[in-house]
Amino acid sequence: MSENNDVPLLLPARMLNEAVYCERLFYLEWVQGRFVHNADTVKGHSTHTRVDRPGGRLAQANEDKPQVARSVTLSSEELGVIATIDLVESGDVDVVRPVDYKKGVAPDVPEGAYEPERVQVCLQGLLLREAGYSCDSGVLYFAGSRTRVTVPFDDTLIARTHEAIDRARQVAAREQPPQPLIDSPKCPRCSLVGLCLPDETNTLTARQEQPARRLIPTDESAQPLYVTTQGAYVGISAGRIEVRKNKEKLASTRLIDVSQLCLYGNVQVSSQVFRAAFRESVPVCFFSYGGWFQGLAEGLPSKHVDLRRRQLMASLRDDVATAAAFVDGKIRNCRTFLRRNARSEAVDSARTVSVLYDLARQTSECSTMQQLLGVEGSAARMYFTDFPSMLADSARPLYAPAGPLLRSRRPPLDPLNCLLSYLYALLTKDLTATCYSVGLDPYVGLFHRPRFGRPALALDLMEEFRPLIADSVAVNLINNGEVGEGDFVHRAVGVALTDTGRRSVLRAYERRLSSEVRHPMFGYTVTYRRILEVQVRLFAAYLLGEVDRYTPFRTR
């Protein structure tokens, strides 16, 4: 057994299976502690339901009565492994045989099973031998075909098992995960394909020439649940999230169909909901009544400690190049959005589009954050000055009576600023939640400084998406007449949305996130909601050294 102080003493047998199957998968699961369920893993868990309950006993020395034991845990410091064996069958005196349950059907290969499964059951046999039993073969039981495949423990398989143990420990001792497999048929069914991003990573590092496959679903089936009714109470019953007020049921939906629980103003939540949300990795997001994003409750933080450590190091060293990528993406997308939507009579917009192009090019020449802030500020002023040119003529008296838009916040002073601020808060919420799910700290940024408790990294990553998602929703809401003068409340100072107006904005925002777009780098079509996750994971891949730079999402 190889020695490394950073690698745990005992390697789980299940992880050895993963290491033989794909070293990168093994590293992501065991070293970085990352795991995601998919249909295959859920089915596998169901297959093990009975055998995972300990029962029976192993035969004692010189006992010739057949015995069956379930969920038997054995370990060996000599081998450096630990295993929980699904089933151990004993027949003749001191002769036992491990039985490992698999969810699928027995493959049509000469050995009767693939190498990872044969190595795993062989390891279980070696542990039984060290415990004093005679064990010359094991069994793989394939539940899908109800087939038992006998695996003899010959010298070749035993040598391969020892080699796999040593290799797994060598891989685990690395600072970096192994590179992704190239165009592998193993990737589409892997539960971690959305974390690994094999084709995307290989494309960005020029390790593959063929186009990236869309290995992740276009979107998740679960969607955010927004609760805006003041005085509502959110509880859970029989796996369903229920919203009530004064004992009247306002809504009921399955927890598995909820990706986020978003609460506005004075909404009460039961502790049972929190526990269920934490268990299912559903963030609970809190907003003020007016729509300011105020906080987020999650379960335990990600086990991916190395990612957060590298994020902090990048923040401390002033990574101007990556900050410039965020700003470059924002300016180019603002330019594209303005070019596509400005009214033909807006001559000044054509000049602004040209200047924005020059400013985007200047971002790569900035050597300090101060220079980059100056370029970003100039671009923002020009963009918002011409923002009203994208509004319908009939809407300008309400939303742009004075012509150029001057951004105002806390509170917004006019309906257009009110819409933009509300939508930016929603986008901040989504990227904060995504940062948490990936394992990043949303409060440690590279461009936005981590001050005053603001989610700096979420604000960094949302820069390129402001015009594509938030600004686009605002313009469409106004031009399509989905919001009007009656959807705003004018107070002594500031403007706020009414309940009806908020619901209209939330519907339009979720509709935009669910719309599909072709990814300019990878060529496949996915929703904006999924692209947010892809971009955050690509940023994490940059921090981990898997790609040499962060590439922003730029629409064409």
Q: Of the candidates 168, 103, 96, 170, which has an alpha carbon nearest to the alpha carbon of residue 126?
A: 96
Supply the angle between the helices 528-543 and 415-438 in degrees, to the nearest 10.
50
CA distance 521 to 206: 12
What b/e string do you get for 423-458 counting C-beta neighbours within 10 Å, with b at 16 or more?
A: bbbbbbbbbbbbbbbbbbbbbbbbbbebeeeebbbb
Q: What is the pLDDT of residue 55?
A: 57
Condensed to tens digits (0 to 9), the pLDDT of residues 243-300 reads 999 888 998 999 988 988 999 889 999 999 999 998 888 889 898 887 778 888 888 7
CB 33 within 8 A of CB 308: no
* 368 shares its domain with 439: yes
DSSP 186-215: TSTT-TTHHHH-HHHHHHHTT---SPPP--
Cα–Cα distance for residue pair 467/46, rounded to 1 Å = 45
**In a shared domain, residues 489 and 424:** yes
Q: Which two tokens stand for residue 262?
A: 């978003």
DSSP track, 122-171: HHHHHHHHHTT-B--EEEEEETTTTEEEEEE--HHHHHHHHHHHHHHHHH
In a shared domain, residues 334 and 284: no
Domain boundary among 297, 319, 349: 297
243 and 366 share one domain: no
**What is the count of structural domains for the chain?**
3
Token pair listed for 77:
């410091």
388: DSSP letter? G
Q: Which residues define the annotated binding site?
A: 376, 448, 463
pLDDT at 52: 54
Residue 76 within a domain: yes
What's the confidence (pLDDT) of residue 61? 56
Asked if residue 395 and residue 339 are part of one domain, the reply reads yes
Contacts of 495 (CB under 8 A, 6+ apart): 411, 412, 413, 414, 415, 417, 418, 488, 489
pLDDT at 66: 61
222 CB burial (10 A radius; 0-12, 13-18, 19+): middle
- pLDDT, residue 58, reads 66
Shared-domain flag, residues 470 and 504: yes
Residue 116: name the closest of 178, 55, 164 by CA.
164
Which amino acid, residue 95?
V
In which residue are the tokens 């777009």 written? 517
Position 189 scores a pLDDT of 83
Question: For position 385, what pLDDT does the model report?
Answer: 87
To which H or E segment does residue 518 belong?
strand 516-518
Residues 349 and 455 in one domain: yes
DSSP at 179: P
Phi, psi of 102 (to 5 degrees): -125, 145
Tell me what pLDDT residue 305 has.
81
| Domain endpoint, select from 173, 208, 235 | 173
Angle between helices 415-438 and 499-514 (to 10 degrees): 50
Does residue 542 fall inside a structural domain? no
Range of the domain at 485: 305-514
Residues 332 and 481 in one domain: yes
Binding site, annotated residues for Mn(2+) = 376, 448, 463
Q: Is residue 200 assigned to a domain?
A: no
Same domain, 54 and 167: yes
pTM above 0.75, yes or no: yes
Looking at 297, 324, 343, which one is the last position of a domain?
297
Residue 514: name the closest of 219, 224, 257, 214 by CA: 219
Q: How many residues does the chain have?
A: 556
Which tokens belong to 97? 């045989």
CB 224 within 8 A of CB 535: no
Q: Examine residue 522 and state whether it is found in any structural domain, yes or no.
A: no
CATH number at residue 250: 3.100.10.20
Question: Do 256 and 332 reside in the same domain of the chain?
Answer: no
Cα four-point dihedral sign 22, 24, 30, 34: negative
Tell me if 345 is assigned to some domain: yes
Q: Would residue 318 be called left, alpha or beta, if left means φ above 0 and alpha means ψ between -120 and 50 degrees?
A: left
Q: Which residues pair with 254 in a beta bridge?
A: 240
Same domain assignment for residues 253 and 311 = no
Distance (Å, whole) CA 438 – CA 458: 12
Burial of 298 (0-12, 13-18, 19+ CB in 10 A): middle
- For the chain, list residues with pLDDT below 50: 1-4, 38-48
Does the residue 277 lie in any domain?
Answer: yes
List the CATH number of the domain containing 352: 1.20.120.920
Q: What is the CATH number of the domain that holds 96?
A: 3.90.320.10
Structure tokens belonging to residue 490: 């004018």
Helix (H, G, I), strand (E, B) or coil at 12: strand
Is 210 among the domain residues?
A: no
- Which two tokens mark 454? 């603001």
Residue 212 within a domain: no
For helices 528-543 and 499-514, angle between their N-to-C axes, nearest 10 degrees: 70
CB 445 within 8 A of CB 311: no
Do 124 and 273 share a structural domain?
no
